[in-house]
Chain A
Amino acid sequence: DIQMTQSPSSLSASVGDSVTISCRASQSISTFLNWYQQKPGKAPKLLIYAASSFRRGVPSRFSGSGSGTDFTLTISSLQPEDFATYYCQQSYSAPYSFGQGTNLEIK
């Protein structure tokens, strides 16, 4: 099974800052990597698929990169609505594991 490890687990930042969240797979997954955003009490929302492709309607301040085993999600110029928990997830092979999540908090 493929293990997904995110870092950091939590992150404090201010509105206007840029942040980067990392995700590492235990084996190569090519670009079969998705990023989701979840706010408290809500279902997750797909932000980025195939490592770097935007879902329609996602603001351009979100960007993803990487391939193989190392991936990043970058949020530039943080907005108040961006404070949430972010998860990476591999869709290379079942079980389609998630990272443990990164909680992005307001400083």
Chain B
Amino acid sequence: EVQLVESGGGLIKPGGSLRLSCAVSGFTFSNFGMTWVRQAPGKGLEWVSSISTGSSYIYYADSLKGRLTISRDNAKNLLYLQMNSLRAEDTAVYYCARDQITVAGTKAFDFWGQGTMVTVSS
């Protein structure tokens, strides 16, 4: 069974830093790209960052570039998101998701974790 479990969220003061983790099981982690998506309270989904299987290709949302670092440890089946200089508007549930290259040659986020809440407040 494919499982993704996020951790590392919590209450953090503005300007602080946080590292989120996503532990995966049930599939060969090193064969799949991975993605972080966030959702502010009562708002829609926002793509945050994606990383390729070997970390060669990394993408960030323009609005977050410079404050985020996505990384992965294929030996430990772990995905990370380091977030710095946090702001109130970064308050959201952060989901990790698996990138599936579909039979049609496109990409989709086929499995998601349950999310971890990050609250930025003084």
Residues of A within 8 A of B (CB): 1, 31-32, 34, 36, 38, 42-46, 49-50, 53, 55, 87, 89, 91, 94-101
Docked pose: A27 CA to B9 CA in angstroms: 36
Shortest distance between the CB of A53 and any CB in chain B (Å): 6
- 7 A-B pairs within 8 Å (CB atoms) are namely A38-B45, A89-B45, A91-B106, A94-B59, A95-B47, A96-B50, A96-B59
Question: Which secondary structure characterizes the binding site on chain A?
Answer: loop
Task: Report if B2 contacts A (CB, 8 A).
Answer: no
Once A and B bind, how many residue pairs between them come within 8 Å at the CB atom? 72
Residues of B within 8 A of A (CB): 35, 37, 44-47, 50, 59-62, 95, 100, 102-110, 112-115
B106 x A31 contact (CB < 8 A): yes
B47 x A1 contact (CB < 8 A): no
> Using Cβ atoms and an 8 Å threshold, which residues of chain A touch B45?
36, 38, 44, 87, 89, 98, 101
| Shortest beta-carbon contacts, A-B, top 8 | A50-B104, A94-B59, A43-B112, A49-B108, A91-B107, A101-B44, A98-B45, A34-B108
Contact flag A98-B44 (CB < 8 Å), given A43-B95, A43-B113: yes
> Using Cβ atoms and an 8 Å threshold, which residues of chain B touch A42?
114
Q: Which residue of B lies closest to A53 (CB)?
A: B104
> Using Cβ atoms and an 8 Å threshold, which residues of chain B touch A43?
95, 112-115
> Using Cβ atoms and an 8 Å threshold, which residues of chain A touch B47?
89, 95-98
Docked pose: A56 CA to B5 CA in angstroms: 23
Contact flag A46-B44 (CB < 8 Å), given A1-B62, A95-B62, A96-B35: no
Contact flag A50-B62 (CB < 8 Å), given A43-B95, A87-B45, A101-B45: no
> Using Cβ atoms and an 8 Å threshold, which residues of chain B touch A99?
44
> Using Cβ atoms and an 8 Å threshold, which residues of chain B touch A1?
62
Select which of B105, B110, B113, B115 is within 8 A of A46 by beta carbon: B110
Contact flag A49-B106 (CB < 8 Å), given A96-B47, A97-B47: yes
